[in-house]
Structure 1
Amino acid sequence: MESPVPRPDTVNKSRFAADAAFAMLAGMQLDVFTPLQAGPKTAEEIAHAIGVGPARLRLLLYSLVTAELLTEQNGRFSNTPEANQFLVKGAPSYIGNRHATFSAQWVYKLKTAESIRTGVPQAKLDFSNSPRDEVEAFLRRINVRAVQSARALLERYDFTTIKTLADVGSGCAGIALTMTKACPHMQATALDLPLVTPIAQKVIEEEGMTDRVKVIAADVLSGPLPVLYDVAILRNLLQVLSLRDACLAVKNIGAAIKPGGMIYIVAQILDDCRTSPLEAVGFNLNFINLFDAGESYTEQEHRGWLSDAGFVNIERANFLLPDGDGVMTARKPK
């Protein structure tokens, strides 16, 4: 019996998935979904609500139907329950404002083959020669997600007894600021490279938190941090370092945590099979195009770094934060 002739089903599935993704992106950018919160509308009614012409919008609306974000009946379009939940402005779980992030990441990913072919990241993030206002704008954009991560950590973990906290690789100090605002007993330090710390200081001053959040310029690869802390939080730091440097960073940061203190690693964390979760797998395409080193490291790799640095009670959270990041925690022995 002859084997069935293979068909390009997986190829076509991937191709059509890209079409659906671009339709979703356009729908988010145009805010197609919010006017439909109140009920079904025609293409003309939606076009009027968002201030565009109906002829080309109608084509997008049918693409969104095939993407399973809208339904259509007798020429009237409605949100699916998922679109109502996540893509309508004002909804508690609204994520439609992430379209700029999606767009930027997809632009990077179009360069993947060339980055691999040349061995040079074709969309490299290198702020060493960038104007300060560009660096600041970028850091402020990603700070929104740092604040979200901090809020999620506060919901999941108990920080009520923590007096001192290090926000390592702080950017605009979103972790430090959010934690100290929620915990009046806490003092925090935002630590980052000298290029970044003046911007963090500016944001802290804007928030009126200079009495609670200090700034220190530090390179976690050059040696232990200069002060001891009860807790250190590393958000998206290790994943932009090489395997060797990530191990060194954990050791140096660990040396600055008091006995009995905790470390929280917030990052894209792969299962040891390296094919899940999908967010972390897909993020590796970003790393190929943006950084000379770094990747979504596995749970076992994180465990190895923490163990080598002398940590115990190493755990991986069984949940993901709102932006898809995982969490690893460990304790410094008393």
Structure 2
Amino acid sequence: MTPDLHTPADLLQLSGSYWATCALHAGVALDLFTPLAGQPGTAAELAERQHLEPRALAMLLDALTALGLLTKQADRYEAQPAASRFLSRSSAEYLGHIIMHHHHLMAGWSRLDEAVRNGGPLRDPVINACDDSVRESFLMGMFNLASLLAPRIAAGIDLTGRKRLLDLGGGPGTYAVAFCRQYPGLTATVYDLPSTRPFAERVIGAAALSDRVAFHDGDYHQSDIPGGFDVAWLSHVLHADGPEHCARMLAKAVAALEPGGLLLVQEFILDDSKDGPLFPALFSLNMLLGTSRGQSYSGAELTELMTAAGLRDVGRLPLELPNGAGIMAGTV
């Protein structure tokens, strides 16, 4: 939905909204929610435990309380239930990885005007980051996001009778795991860079699916993709490249499919006019900042790319997903 910005107050609130974002990021980076999940504490106690400056910490805790993430009784703070559930490292539903990924992107976003002047990008692709914590926050952040949607998506796509799934650029393998859980007769191969393997093996092992989900090292830009699959799943990989690279990637994915195979593409999909929805439009700017030719694509553009790759009956599946995400399907 397009924001309704008509007054100076509306514009100034939008302009300063990053203050709240930075407070959340600091709370996660300093791991404040884990010790306050179910156990109230004072700023002084938490400062000693986390090796922080007490006065500054109290100011941050008060701001997090004002944001509704903490409660405060006298001088003791405690995480709200949602913060305990999603921001505590001890929770199985921890979302801190994707929040820290957003945090690592902020330096580039602050220079968006420079990227628009020069055509970008201003940073290397996150997957190539030398800093292990940056790469981990990206890959496990993708796991955070996919974990929220993958079971629902797997249940909403009919793969009955299909035996071998290729999760191309599958990162930690979250979707491969979800599809195999949904369809007991299915096996899957996650194809991604060697640096991704430890994260994928952690996720696959935790799901107890190492016997059905394999990891294959490779760079889909440079190497051939193994064949013999009857489903190919490409989730949020096309947006990292320009149309020419996307065409080559899709051609390789199609070549990996047996006759009658199904290719599925999940992306943040723009309207054909490309001026909405809001999240895909903003996400396209994120690609400007971090890739040489990446962008969000419209439904019409994805249809054209998939059809040119040799797919038939290309169309968008009737699945309602957040942030303008959608799934395109076509058959060989």
Alpha carbons 2:250, 2:306 under 8 Å: kept: yes
Alpha carbons 1:266, 1:325 under 8 Å: kept: no
Distance change (3 Å), C-alpha of 1:39 and 1:215: closer
Larger Rg belongs to: 1
Alpha carbons 1:136, 1:199 under 8 Å: kept: no
RMSD over aligned CA atoms reads: 4.1
Measured in 1, the distance between the counterparts of 2:95 and 2:267 equals 19
Comparing 25-34 with 35-44, which one deviates more in the overlay?
35-44
Is there any run of 5+ residues in structure 1 with no aligned partner, and where? 1-5
CA displacement at 1:26 relative to structure 2 = 0.8
Aligned residue in 1 for 2:14 = 14
Measured in 1, the distance between the counterparts of 2:8 and 2:199 equals 54
CA displacement at 1:141 relative to structure 2 = 5.3
Alpha carbons 2:169, 2:191 under 8 Å: kept: yes
Aligned residue in 2 for 1:269 = 269
Aligned residue in 1 for 2:3 = none
Amino acid at match of 2:319: N
Instruction: Give secondary structure in 1 for the equivalent of 2:123.
Output: coil
Measured in 1, the distance between the counterparts of 2:311 and 2:40 equals 59
Aligned residue in 1 for 2:124 = 124
Instruction: Give secondary structure in 1 for the equivalent of 2:94.
Output: coil
- Please show how residues 1-334 of structure 1 align to structure 2 within 5 Å: 8-38=8-38, 41-48=41-48, 50-72=50-72, 74-125=74-125, 134=130, 142-145=138-141, 149=146, 151-152=150-151, 153-159=153-159, 161-170=161-170, 185-191=185-191, 196=193, 200=197, 213=214, 215=216, 217=218, 219=220, 227-272=227-272, 274=274, 276-308=276-308, 309-312=310-313, 314-316=315-317, 318-320=319-321, 326-332=325-331
Alpha carbons 2:277, 2:324 under 8 Å: kept: no
1:218-265 per-residue CA deviation (whole Å, 9 max, x = no partner) reads 656999x56242000112221012134424533442344334322222
Distance change (3 Å), C-alpha of 1:226 and 1:218: farther
Measured in 2, the distance between the counterparts of 1:83 and 1:200 equals 30
Count of equivalent residues:
318
TM-score for both structures, normalised by structure 2: 0.74
Measured in 2, the distance between the counterparts of 1:71 and 1:14 equals 26
TM-score for both structures, normalised by structure 1: 0.73
Is there any run of 5+ residues in structure 2 with no aligned partner, and where? 1-5
Identity of aligned residues (%): 24
Amino acid at match of 2:140: V
1:277-315 per-residue CA deviation (whole Å, 9 max, x = no partner) reads 554333223211111101122233223333444332622
CA displacement at 1:330 relative to structure 2 = 1.5
Measured in 2, the distance between the counterparts of 1:231 and 1:325 equals 24
